[in-house]
């Protein structure tokens, strides 16, 4: 201080300290930040503490803490992880916190006899108003110990006191269980056979508290008759009694609680119970009213990604979500352009959708407009100009994203899938975005996704939540494509965790930590008694799951077209054999899709728009072997359409240089359409070359004329 005074006058030091003090957050702020409403636990206040704990239908485990106590701050992460781990036990036992550092709470902490922090107290269900709880004196405060304490608390209830929702946690014996073998039932019965001191069975029973369709019973390995009849060799083990009376011992990669729980939750017909009092509403209910009549069920494999979901998402995105904007300008236009670039460069398959995105991208890049009417985009998406090989199906065919009821899953599910897939594609092709506006970004997929969700996604609340998450788990720290893939996976799992059990959770596809062990067993581990992901294995799994090799084209419109083409081809062969000259494409022409694809056999203008007919698989979309592009009619159509949409009175803002007369206008826009940057550079080069040539010519004649003038006139004799 003295040294500081030597260089700074005393009054300046006071001023400096005062400013610093105003910047330090008060204790109350820190307290409220230790636990927030986003944590899966109950934050008790002076007004809610007694009401919550008195005559409650469930038991409670409360941590009385002080927000100034360093240990409490360090321990808060463990307490949150515990609360998340036993979130589904709510109804039988809840987890709560109460902050004794808040002035408002002083009296209650004294009343409850809190002397040290943190103090854990538990309260049985149906406790009286005078009950002050029992202190947990166990030295070990690690998650497995506290979780076992919770099981013990529940088991210490008498039959009368027991929380109504708490299932039986006692062991069953062979006399009770053996008669169940061979019986038909309306539900599964899972028998967990384990060592007497094991907690796994009871934890699995509580994990399934919120699920219907399965009953879990536990038995111990010392029950020899049961073990012998069921042929149990390893412990712990799940023996499953099916509703149809058959039964078998279930194989899981690892004999861990998480594996048993995931397996039982994924049995057909096992569903999460729906809570009508859930605070999280399905933001998309009503928005996707197209699903009000349930389409026929499409069988699918959960280990695959379906192109039909991606195309349905793009159909909804381009034709419904974005179409609610009459025109795009400023940030909206920039976001739209970047999304189209991302899709053009990273969307898989090189098929009709990629051609459409490339066309759209080229068109957007070559249009010097600050505002575009969305109808012009729609016309391209609908391929009104009948460009060969460009197509986006106009149906929603959810496959992996089917919901069990109208309004569930569908578009948001497919949007997640699309962005996961793009992040993995970017990892597989790190140079794909070279020479685009996204080239320099470390996390281009996430950044475009964020901007899209913020700007266009129909669910505003979802957008805010996603943005908050992106800000707190800093996207700026992402350095590599692998980190981008993992960041998105992490965020998605946090959303799954938050929404599990909410109204938007489809009971047939319950949300939870993903991927489940049935998709990736090696992704799961246990650390200090708590489920943990093996991140390296998860990355490998994601890179495979969202890879091209794992993309199924079943149910896509393109698959339908191919199927029809095969049929048509077979018909052609048959008719040739019969000596007919009939061309199959006439029949294909009955179908709208095929009509678009078969209509351009005219003259080709290569370069105006890239060759859109051949995809990477060598598939020729129109069935012909000609080089395809635009014929004269295509170009005329394209120009007429776009000139129609871009008339200044419709709100399109044309940049200064583009404001020409009406005939010149037409020509200019034809120029602006479809030319690539290479074409434009060549034009420029030609232009500069001609100028230089003209200048040289000009100087040459100037010098020559000067010489002529200087030459002395010949004297006439």
Ligand X SMILES: Cc1cc2nc3c(=O)[nH]c(=O)nc-3n(C[C@H](O)[C@H](O)[C@H](O)COP(=O)(O)OP(=O)(O)OC[C@H]3O[C@@H](n4cnc5c(N)ncnc54)[C@H](O)[C@@H]3O)c2cc1C
Task: Give the interface with ligand X as residue ranges (CB under 6 A).
Answer: 280, 283, 401, 409, 412-413, 415-417, 420, 453, 461-462, 465-466, 489, 492-493, 495-496, 499, 504, 506, 509, 511, 514
Toward ligand X, which CB reaches closer, 482 or 560? 482
Smallest gap from Cβ 287 to ligand X, in A, equals: 11
Phi, psi of 143 (to 5 degrees): -55, -45
8 A C-beta contact, residue 407 and residue 503: no
Smallest gap from Cβ 514 to ligand X, in A, equals: 3
Smallest gap from Cβ 467 to ligand X, in A, equals: 9
CA distance 485 to 492: 11
8 A C-beta contact, residue 542 and residue 424: yes
Q: Is 69 a catalytic site residue?
A: yes
Strand partners, 527: 530
Smallest gap from Cβ 491 to ligand X, in A, equals: 8
Smallest gap from Cβ 516 to ligand X, in A, equals: 10
Smallest gap from Cβ 452 to ligand X, in A, equals: 9
Toward ligand X, which CB reaches closer, 94 or 412? 412
Smallest gap from Cβ 499 to ligand X, in A, equals: 5
Catalytic residue among 29, 69, 109, 401: 69
Q: Which two tokens stand for residue 64?
A: 């009385």
Toward ligand X, which CB reaches closer, 420 or 612? 420
Residues 6+ away with beta carbon under 8 Å from 344: 354, 357, 358, 360, 361
Toward ligand X, which CB reaches closer, 286 or 606? 286
8 A C-beta contact, residue 284 and residue 412: yes
Toward ligand X, which CB reaches closer, 135 or 287? 287
| CA angle centred on 451, ends 514 and 403, rounded to 5° | 40
Toward ligand X, which CB reaches closer, 112 or 300? 300
8 A C-beta contact, residue 551 and residue 417: no
**Tokens 């940030």 belong to which residue?**
331
Toward ligand X, which CB reaches closer, 169 or 415? 415
Smallest gap from Cβ 461 to ligand X, in A, equals: 6
Instruction: Tell me which H or E stretch contains 638.
Output: helix 632-645
8 A C-beta contact, residue 56 and residue 164: no
DSSP secondary structure, 49-113, as one string: HHHHHTT-SSEEEEEEE-TT-HHHHHHHHHHHHHHHHTGGGTTTEEEEEEETTSGGGHHHHHHTT
CA distance 82 to 89: 11
Toward ligand X, which CB reaches closer, 28 or 290? 290
Catalytic residue among 72, 100, 462, 520: 72
- Pseudo-torsion of CA 142, 143, 148, 151, nearest 10°? 140
8 A C-beta contact, residue 612 and residue 637: no
8 A C-beta contact, residue 510 and residue 265: yes
Strands (E) in 303-458, as ranges, are 305-306, 327-329, 371-373
Residue positions annotated with a catalytic role? 69, 72
């Amino acid at each position: 201080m003295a040294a500081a005074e030597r260089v700074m006058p005393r009054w300046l030091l006071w001023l400096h300290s005062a400013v610093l003090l105003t910047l330090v957050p008060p204790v109350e702020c820190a307290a409220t930040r230790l636990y927030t409403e986003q944590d899966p636990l109950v934050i008790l206040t002076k007004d809610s503490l007694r009401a919550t704990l008195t005559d409650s239908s469930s038991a409670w485990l409360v941590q009385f803490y002080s927000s100034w106590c360093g240990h409490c701050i360090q321990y808060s992460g463990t307490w949150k992880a515990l609360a998340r781990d036993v979130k589904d036990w709510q109804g039988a036992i809840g987890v709560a916190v109460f902050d004794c550092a808040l002035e408002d709470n002083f009296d209650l902490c004294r009343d409850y006899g809190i002397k040290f922090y943190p103090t854990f107290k538990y309260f049985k269900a149906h406790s009286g108003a005078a009950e002050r709880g029992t202190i947990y004196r166990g030295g070990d405060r690690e998650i497995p110990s506290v979780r076992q304490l919770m099981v013990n608390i529940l088991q210490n209830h008498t039959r009368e006191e027991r929380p109504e929702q708490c299932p039986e946690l006692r062991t069953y014996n062979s006399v009770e269980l053996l008669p169940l073998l061979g019986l038909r039932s309306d539900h599964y019965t899972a028998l967990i056979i384990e060592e007497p001191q094991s907690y796994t069975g009871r934890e699995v029973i509580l994990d399934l508290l919120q699920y219907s369709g399965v009953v879990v019973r536990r038995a111990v390995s010392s029950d020899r008759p049961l073990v012998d009849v069921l042929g149990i060799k390893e412990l712990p083990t799940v023996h499953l009694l099916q509703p149809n009376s058959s039964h078998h011992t279930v194989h899981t990669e690892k004999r861990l609680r998480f594996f048993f729980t995931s397996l039982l939750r994924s049995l057909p017909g096992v569903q999460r119970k729906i809570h009508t009092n859930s605070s999280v509403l399905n933001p998309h209910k009503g928005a996707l009213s197209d699903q009000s009549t349930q389409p026929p069920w499409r069988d699918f494999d959960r280990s695959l990604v379906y192109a039909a979901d991606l195309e349905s998402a793009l159909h909804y995105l381009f034709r419904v979500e974005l179409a609610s904007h009459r025109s795009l300008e400023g940030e909206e236009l920039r976001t739209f352009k970047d999304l189209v670039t991302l899709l053009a460069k990273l969307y898989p398959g090189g098929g009709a959708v990629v051609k459409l995105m490339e066309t759209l991208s080229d068109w957007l890049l070559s249009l010097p407009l600050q505002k575009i009417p969305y109808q012009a985009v729609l016309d391209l998406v609908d391929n009104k100009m009948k460009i060969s090989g460009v197509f986006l199906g106009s149906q929603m065919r959810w496959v992996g994203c089917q919901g069990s009821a109208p309004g569930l899953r569908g578009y948001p599910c497919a949007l997640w899938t699309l962005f996961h897939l793009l992040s993995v594609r970017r990892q597989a092709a790190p140079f794909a975005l070279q020479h685009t506006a996204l080239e320099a970004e470390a996390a281009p997929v996430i950044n475009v996704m964020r901007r899209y969700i913020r700007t266009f996604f129909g669910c505003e609340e979802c957008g805010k939540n996603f943005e908050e998450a992106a800000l707190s788990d800093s996207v700026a720290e992402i350095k590599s494509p692998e980190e981008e893939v993992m960041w998105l996976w992490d965020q998605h799992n946090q959303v799954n965790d938050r929404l599990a059990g909410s109204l938007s959770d489809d009971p047939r596809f319950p949300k939870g930590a993903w991927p489940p062990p049935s998709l990736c067993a090696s992704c799961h581990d246990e650390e200090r008694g708590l489920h943990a992901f093996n991140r390296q294995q998860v990355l490998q799994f994601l890179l495979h799951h969202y890879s091209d090799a794992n993309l199924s084209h079943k149910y896509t419109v393109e698959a339908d077209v191919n199927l029809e083409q095969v049929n048509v081809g077979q018909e052609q062969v048959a008719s040739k054999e019969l000596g007919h000259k009939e061309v199959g494409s006439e029949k294909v022409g009955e179908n709208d899709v095929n009509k678009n694809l078969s209509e351009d056999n005219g003259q080709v203008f290569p370069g105006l728009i890239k060759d859109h007919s051949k995809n990477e698989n060598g598939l020729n979309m129109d069935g012909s072997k000609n080089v395809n592009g635009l014929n004269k009619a295509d170009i005329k159509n394209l120009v007429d359409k776009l000139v129609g949409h871009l008339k200044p009175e419709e709100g399109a803002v044309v940049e200064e240089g583009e404001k020409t007369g009406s005939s010149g206008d037409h020509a200019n826009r034809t120029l602006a359409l479809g030319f690539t940057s290479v074409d434009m550079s060549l034009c420029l080069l030609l232009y500069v070359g001609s100028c230089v040539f003209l200048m040289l010519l000009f100087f040459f004649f100037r010098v020559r004329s000067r010489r002529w003038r200087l030459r002395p006139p010949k004297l006439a004799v």
